[in-house]
Amino acid sequence: MSEFPESDRRAALNGLPLRPELCGMEPYGAPQLDVPIMLNVNENTHSFPEDAHRAIVDAVDAAVKGLNRYPDREFTVLRSALADYLGHGLSADQIWAANGSNEVLQQILQAFGGPGRKLLSFPPTYSMYPLLARGTGTEYISGQRAEDFTLSAESAAAQVEQYQPDLVVLCSPNNPTGTALELEVIEAVYRAGEASRTVVIVDEAYAEFRQAGTPSALELLPGRDRLIVTRTMSKAFALAGARLGYLAAAPAMTDALRLVRLPYHLSALTQAAAVAALECSGSLLRNVEDIKVQRDRIVDGLKSLGLEPARSDSNFVFFRGVKDPHSLWQGLLDQGILVRDVGLPHSLRVTAGTAEETDAFLNALPSLLNQA
């Protein structure tokens, strides 16, 4: 617990010579509460497979012996492993990685954003986008979605033509709604950005949880030098604590990021853990298949209670139709279940966890909804 009262720390912060656009801002952060069932930040709650556990421990143990030396600045083995994992004919020189996909996005903004430049995105979406823009001195523009939070190719392209942004970020599957974009939306945005040379980022943090038949923007990379597809190992690979995000793009894009990255930005331990996890992708992705089963159980259970879950291509479910979201959030918390209040009217979001966690969530809802 801090020795300094919050009011004193706030006053001290306000007394510093902060950049004007940072004054009065709040840092990113979901509630970190110690409860039995945490379904609020879209972590992979399944047990780590034994083969992956052993492989990572062995790889990190070997890496520790060389910690007196700097790590491979180009993380060559990791880039090759990621290219093999993604497929689509990608090569290592089309891959970049950093400490979580947030750092990947930050580096993209450092290279292509900045003062006098603009980033367009389409709320409700990942809340880090405006924070990353602000942190790099990039103007953030909030685009518009339809009332049901969908985004059509025509609407997205028209907004790109209107604002002529330097960057567009499309979250697919979208957070917090969980829905994936059709490839025609991404193609339309890319075409609309030709005149302004707009860099188009497709954030596919939850790509491994897509419904069968939902395509990836990786299919669109050939011939599109301004297109970037970002991914993470936090979700499907259960490596949220290791912090490893990555992207696929034209080789020139990875060269651009070398201009802004910090020296030796990926530790030897991170590289070793990520490579070992990729070697055990089979067992780790079996957990993904179970998570998808739990997600679909949640969707069906919410529908049976008269709520309105969105189609989900992710490891979480966004649902509407809640009379009092905060009351329901608190009621679940009182029973040891933490979900996410995303700040949208009559809506909440819940991570798909284990079968037992899904049971607890669905069993708690009927009485809580009756009390509302």
Percent of the chain that is helix, strand, coil (3-state, to 5): 45, 15, 45
How many Cα neighbours within 13 Å face the side chain of 59? 21
List, for residues 16-29, the tens digit of each pLDDT value.
Answer: 998 988 888 888 77
Would you say 254 and 82 are in contact if contact means Cβ atoms under 8 Å apart?
Answer: no
Number of domains in the chain: 2
- Please give the average per-residue pLDDT across 162-190, as a whole number: 98
Dist CA 128 CA 28 (whole Å): 7
Residues 347 and 226 in one domain: no
Residue 372 — very low, low, confident or very high, per pLDDT cuts 50/70/90? low
The last residue of one of the domains, among 245, 280, 315, is: 280
Residue 325 in any domain: the answer is: yes
Task: Work out the number of other CB atoms within 10 angstroms of the CB of residue 113.
Answer: 25
Would you say 200 and 226 are in contact if contact means Cβ atoms under 8 Å apart?
Answer: yes
Residue 32 — very low, low, confident or very high, per pLDDT cuts 50/70/90? confident
Q: Quick check: 266 pLDDT over 70?
A: yes
Domain extent at residue 366: 11-48+283-371
List, for residues 40-94, the tens digit of each pLDDT value.
Answer: 999 999 989 999 999 999 999 999 999 999 999 999 999 999 999 999 999 999 9
Question: What's the start-to-end Cα distance of the chain, in Å?
Answer: 35
List, for residues 219-243, the tens digit of each pLDDT value.
Answer: 999 999 999 999 999 999 999 999 9
Residue 5 in any domain: the answer is: no
Residues 44 and 55 in one domain: no
What pLDDT sits at residue 2? 58
Residues 55 and 108 in one domain: yes
Tell me the average pLDDT of the chain.
95
Q: Quick check: 1 pLDDT over 60?
A: no
Residues 22 and 121 in one domain: no
Task: Work out the number of other CB atoms within 10 angstroms of the CB of residue 135.
Answer: 17
What pLDDT sits at residue 149? 96
Residues 309 and 195 in one domain: no
- Say which amino acid occupies 55: A
Supply 62's token pair.
């070997």
Residues 35 and 178 in one domain: no
CA distances from 296 to 35, 121, 178, 354 (A): 24, 28, 12, 12
